[in-house]
Amino acid sequence: MSQRLSKARLRAAWIVAVAVDAIQIPVEATGLLGWIVGAGLDVVTMIVLWSLVGFHWAFLPSFLTEWIPYLDYAPLWTLAVLIATRGRGEDMLAAPLIPPHP
């Protein structure tokens, strides 16, 4: 089972993923220089997200497809964080699965 993540780590991972996707989409539309900047940003993003969330298979397709021109216009880092952090918050385990009956 995956480790639980604190609210701070979850929030940081979401902020990083959304910010990188918001930066990459317009930057990579500028041509070759934008693609090079975006590729470097992908490497940094992968390292940061692995340090925040830990290894998850969802990060690999996001990392690899970001290197393919025109496919990188999708917000794949945000989608990867959604998949990697699903159900891993610390407050998710505190809540009962079935609400108590009155």
Q: Is residue 98 part of a domain?
A: no
Domain count, the chain: 1
Q: Is residue 102 part of a domain?
A: no
| Paired residues of 54 in beta bridges | none
Q: Is residue 77 part of a domain?
A: yes
Q: Is residue 65 part of a domain?
A: yes
- Write a three-state SS string for the chain: CCCCECHHHHHHHHHHHHHHHHHHHHHHCCCHHHHHHHHHHHHHHHHHHHHHHCCCCCHHHHHHHCCCCCHHHCCHHHHHHHHHHCCCECCCCCCCCCCCCC
Q: How far is the C-alpha of 91 from the C-alpha of 86, rounded, in Å?
A: 12
Six-digit token string for 76: 């794949």
pLDDT digits (tens, 9 = 90+) for 9-21: 889 999 999 999 8
Q: Is residue 93 part of a domain?
A: no
Res. 93: pLDDT tops 50 = no
Q: Which domain holds residue 74?
A: 7-85
Q: Is residue 94 part of a domain?
A: no
Give the other-Cβ count within 10 Å of 97's Cβ: 4
Report, as an integer, the average pLDDT of 82-95. Answer: 66
Q: How far is the C-alpha of 22 from the C-alpha of 30, rounded, in Å?
A: 14
pTM recorded for the entire structure: 0.73
| Paired residues of 89 in beta bridges | 5
What pLDDT, on a 0 to 100 scale, did the predictor assign at position 98? 56
